[in-house]
Chains A and B, each alone.
Chain A
Amino acid sequence: NAGVTQTPKFRILKIGQSMTLQCTQDMNHNYMYWYRQDPGMGLKLIYYSVGAGITDKGEVPNGYNVSRSTTEDFPLRLELAAPSQTSVYFCASEGGGTDTQYFGPGTRLTVL
């Protein structure tokens, strides 16, 4: 199993550009999460999903959108990038009754 994979690893965006951060898991987990991690701060939940077709907002959803058309994929969309969205983004999945979240390697995004 590859676990949770994220692409790209790094990206630089200009203000106002849009992009999609990809997240895929091959563990057939129902729950998936998007977090952002800012320097010196704890991870913050952006959006989560409890299954295909079901998504909900987390603590910091403004400026982001998600979709969950399949169990495996949970892309995060930034429509109008702003410098405040400069962060490291982590995707995670959970399932199989383990209550353990498995994290992807992260995407480091800089908005200039």
Chain B
Amino acid sequence: KNEVEQSPQNLTAQEGEFITINCSYSVGISALHWLQQHPGGGIVSLFMLSSGKKKHGRLIATINIQEKHSSLHITASHPRDSAVYICATSRGSQGNLIFGKGTKLSVKP
């Protein structure tokens, strides 16, 4: 069974800081997803990656398939980045996701 572990569980940062959230998984996967859950509860997909690195604005996601590890980086963090960041893995074609418990990020002005 694939386990998805995230660290840290909670993270408080000052505005402008560089932030890293980590995700480890236990079995081979076809893709890894990063999602953001807003304080109001809505969930949006940020990235889907199966190798290498992706960048979108101030967000960067990397994955190391051999080490079964992914990181989500936020550069020049801002209070509006405050949210829960969720890592999820998928295997096969149906896209059934296994989710981590999330990392709650709070960015202080």
Binding site for B on A (CB under 8 A): 31, 33, 40-45, 48, 50, 58, 88, 90, 92, 94, 99-103, 105-106, 108
Which residue of B4, B48, B90 contacts A42 across the interface (Cβ within 8 Å)? B4
Q: Which of B4, B43, B44, B90 has the most CB of A within 10 A?
A: B43
Whether A58 and B96, one on each chain, are in contact in the complex, defined by CB atoms closer than 8 angstroms, is yes
Distance in angstroms between the alpha carbons of A50 and B94 in the assembled complex: 7
Distance in angstroms between the alpha carbons of A48 and B98 in the assembled complex: 13
Q: Which of A41, A44, A101, A102 has the most CB of B within 10 A?
A: A101
Binding site for A on B (CB under 8 A): 4, 31, 33, 41-45, 48, 86, 88, 90, 94-102
Which residue of B31, B44, B90, B94 contacts A103 across the interface (Cβ within 8 Å)? B44
What residues on A are CB-neighbors of B44 within 8 Å?
103
Whether B41 and A88, one on each chain, are in contact in the complex, defined by CB atoms closer than 8 angstroms, is yes
Which residue of A42, A101, A106 contacts B41 across the interface (Cβ within 8 Å)? A106
